[in-house]
Amino acid sequence: MTTLVLVSHPHLADSTSQQFLKASLPTNADIVWEHIESQAHLDIEKEQAQLRQADRIILQFPLYWYAAPAGLKQWEDTVLTRTFVYGDHRYPLADKELGIVVTTGMPAKAFQRGGAEGLTLDAALAPLAAVAHRAKMTWLPTFAIHQFAYLEEPEKLQLVVDYQRYLTQTQPDSLQSRQTWFAQKLPGMIDQLPPEQQATGRLIEAEFAQQQDDLDALADTLSLIKERDDD
């Protein structure tokens, strides 16, 4: 699966959250990463080709005034020509997944009726969702990072894993998809650990395999109970 990550930020080098996400990109995965504002000029042919080749497209940006920065809108207005997106009923983006990675300076609770921002992230992102709808794309649940600056170290570690999963894990984000993803990624992750931590890594891998067996057994039991309930 190819994932295209399009980052929009007017001052990328100064953004600690964007630098953190860049350093967290999955290795051993088919990822194309681009910073929109770094393009001297938007090469429409190249941008459209990248979109065509991707299976999952991620738009990643800080929320400025309840929308993406002007750079992403410029990209939309330039690259997403009507002919490309839905002209002649060809829909080259149909069935591709569109995911949003959005950072906000306010806590999650601000984004609701009565909250400081007064509207949900879903409402703020409705224009982008409408683009996805027009292009017949599949809209993924939004990946929101609130107040990155206040995250503690364990939360940041969790963020790395969740972000990598958002970019590469099979959708929907079910227990099954998550298990499969971890089973595939764990060996590679452990290989990258420093030698003195390899043993710990193998222990985690064994523990994970054991837990997976336990979960499978539990799932069997649950489905048996469910069958009985249905009688």
Would you tell me which residues interact with a copy of itself (CB under 8 A)? 10, 64-71, 73-74, 76-77, 80, 117-119, 123-124, 126-131, 133-134
| Structure tokens that stand for 191 in this block | 């290989």
Tell the smallest beta-carbon distance from residue 163 to a copy of itself (Å): 25
Contact 121, 67 (CB under 8 A): no
Tell the smallest beta-carbon distance from residue 85 to a copy of itself (Å): 9
- Centre a 10 Å sphere on the Cβ of residue 36 and count the other Cβ atoms it contains: 23
Distance from C-alpha of 170 to C-alpha of 182, rounded to nearest angstrom: 11
Q: Which residue, 26 or 69, is less far from a copy of itself as judged by CB? A: 69
Q: Which residue, 118 or 141, is less far from a copy of itself as judged by CB? A: 118
Q: Which residue, 24 or 138, is less far from a copy of itself as judged by CB? A: 138
Distance from C-alpha of 208 to C-alpha of 52, rounded to nearest angstrom: 37
Tell the smallest beta-carbon distance from residue 61 to a copy of itself (Å): 11
Q: Which residue, 114 or 195, is less far from a copy of itself as judged by CB? A: 114
Distance from C-alpha of 70 to C-alpha of 162, rounded to nearest angstrom: 27
Return all residues near 196 (Cβ < 8 A) that are at least 6 apart: none
Task: Return the ∠ at Cα 50 (arms to 45 and 54), rounded to 5°.
Answer: 150
Q: Which residue, 4 or 85, is less far from a copy of itself as judged by CB? A: 85
